[in-house]
Amino acid sequence: MSQNDLANLDFGHVIAPAAAYLVASLMFIIGLKRLSSPRTARSGNLIAAVGMALALAGTFLLPNTGHFGLIVIAIVIGAIPGWLLAKRVKMTAMPQMVSLFNGMGGACALFISLGEWLKAPDDGQAFPKLLGIVLGSISFTGSLVAFGKLQGLISEKSVRWPMQKAINAVLLLGILASAFAAATDPSHSILWTALLAAFALLLGVLQVLPIGGADMPVVISVLNSCTGLAAAVTGFAMHNMSMIIAGTLVGAAGSLLTLLMCKAMNRSLLKVIFGSFGAGAKKSAAAAADSTQTMREIAASESAIMMGYARKVIIVPGYGLAVAQGQHLVHELDQLLEKRGVEVKYAIHPVAGRMPGHMNVLLAEADVPYPKLLDMEEINPEFEQADVALIIGANDVVNPAARSNAGSPIYGMPILNADKAKNVIVIKRGRGTGFAGIENGLFYNPNTRMLFGDAKQALQELITELRAL
């Protein structure tokens, strides 16, 4: 800090915002810390939110801030739909909502970097500004594609086209070249910058489009840390401490979270991003289609008898249950069974639903008592004593191919040993393959019965039949 700077330290415009940023940064760190433990998570989120409000308040105190009216109008225009979307979205649609908000953050970083670049292309901050444009663009379009896939607007399947990797490599080269040109050729700076943004926006689309729906949580997590990094580099360009700290925290925590998620799903990050999932899945699906095995169907009435007279039933909920909004019905079924003296437990795979932890949220919403939800490690030894394993809209997480078939794309993924139960009843919409597009041998096992139908409707029938018993 030079003498000159010290002389400029007036309280309202310098010290107060700096103090606000410092406290806000601490609140972000404490918030993240508390978010990583179930007991404190909710307060952690609140603390981080208060930190955000503080950082924003500090920003208004910065010198030479004008356009107050416009700023407030823009905040209101953004905050209202943000609030409404977040309040109204169904719990099942959470993952894509996170992705959508993430994309908004990316777009924000993109426009800031563009603005800062146009304002002063030659202030020695070219690198962070151009990097902010690239990262913001990729986050923006990548997140929108991920949103589209999970929302069902774009095909969830792994979309493939010729020379994918080559095209992406060319785009990457294009990004490097146009960034270099923008930095060294000031006379056409706007043209090069537009080209740079266009390349990066396109790369975001093309990079995410080929990735199958099952891997979307990992992709969203990667894009989340990408936006964090975009916020950090934008902070560099603007010399803003709160942006550097908060952005970097998210970038780093998000990267670790991505790795943890990959571990929980037994997926390699490189494979998710550069993909070999789709190709492998097609092969194994074709192989299974050749087989002459058949699925055995069961009626709701018979299923009800089987469960009603069982001693122990383990319910394996999957995403299909959540889509059908059947959580409350499962809880009702559970209560009916318990009334008959049947022991009921839930087996929760770490990635049941669409994201790690998603299913716990959904069942908690339906008031299923927490102690009945058991993790994979806890429940797996219990399947052998279970009379019935009721699988509702789950597929890949109970696919024995993960244990036995080294050629399967999910080989090595830890699964729920539902096939060890004496009887397995599978509620499934149709005969097709699951989210990851992989054939499931469990459905052809001698002790497996299929109850075809929409999860909600099938559960309703089960409940009616159980009541009649």
Partner 1 sequence: MIIGTLAMVYIFILAIFTGVEVISRVPTVLHTPLMSGANAIHGIVLVGGVILLGSAGDNDVLIGFGFIAVIFGALNVVGGFVVTDRMLEMFKAKTPDKTGGEK
Catalytic site residues? Answer: 396
Q: Across-strand partners of 426?
A: 391, 450
| Residue ranges in 341-360 that form contacts with partner 1 under rule CB under 8 A | 350, 355-358, 360
| Residue ranges in 194-253 that form contacts with partner 1 under rule CB under 8 A | 217, 220-221, 224-225, 227-228, 230-232, 234-236, 238-253
Q: Which is nearer to partner 1, 332 or 454 (CB)?
A: 332
State in angstroms the smallest separation of the CB of 261 from partner 1. 6
State in angstroms the smallest separation of the CB of 201 from partner 1. 14
Q: Convert residues 259-298 into a mask of x (bound to partner 1 by CB under 8 A) and - (unbound).
A: -xx--x----------------------------------
Dihedral, 317, 267, 138, 169 alpha carbons, nearest 10: -140
Q: Convert residues 40-59 into a mask of x (bound to partner 1 by CB under 8 A) and - (unbound).
A: -xx-xxx-xx--x--xx--x
Residue that is written with structure tokens 């926006």 in the block: 201
User: How does 243-254 read in b/e, with b if 16+ C-beta sit within 10 Å?
Assistant: bbbbbbbbbebb
Classified as helix, coil or strand, 317 is: strand
11 binds partner 1 (CB under 8 A): no
64 binds partner 1 (CB under 8 A): yes
- From candidates 3, 119, 187, 289, binder to partner 1 by CB under 8 A: 119
303 binds partner 1 (CB under 8 A): no
* Residue 2: its H or E element: none
State in angstroms the smallest separation of the CB of 243 from partner 1. 5
**CA–CA dist 251, 257 (Å, integer):** 10
**CA–CA dist 48, 31 (Å, integer):** 5
Q: Which is nearer to partner 1, 32 or 427 (CB)?
A: 32
Q: Which is nearer to partner 1, 240 or 399 (CB)?
A: 240
**CA–CA dist 226, 272 (Å, integer):** 16
| Residue ranges in 316-345 that form contacts with partner 1 under rule CB under 8 A | 328
Dihedral, 30, 35, 41, 46 alpha carbons, nearest 10: 50
Q: Which is nearer to partner 1, 114 or 386 (CB)?
A: 114
State in angstroms the smallest separation of the CB of 347 from partner 1. 14
Rounded to 5 degrees, what are φ and ψ at 310? -85, 160
Decide if 410 contacts 396 (C-beta within 8 A): yes
Q: Taking contact as CB under 8 A, which single stretch among the options 114-122, 387-395, 398-406, 444-452 is the one that binds partner 1? A: 114-122
Among 202, 94, 201, which residue's Cα sits nearest to residue 150? 94
State in angstroms the smallest separation of the CB of 41 from partner 1. 5
Decide if 212 contacts 278 (C-beta within 8 A): yes
- From candidates 3, 67, 163, 166, binder to partner 1 by CB under 8 A: 67
State in angstroms the smallest separation of the CB of 350 from partner 1. 4
| Residue ranges in 386-425 that form contacts with partner 1 under rule CB under 8 A | none
* Residue 91: its H or E element: none
Reading the block at residue 203, the tokens are 């790369």
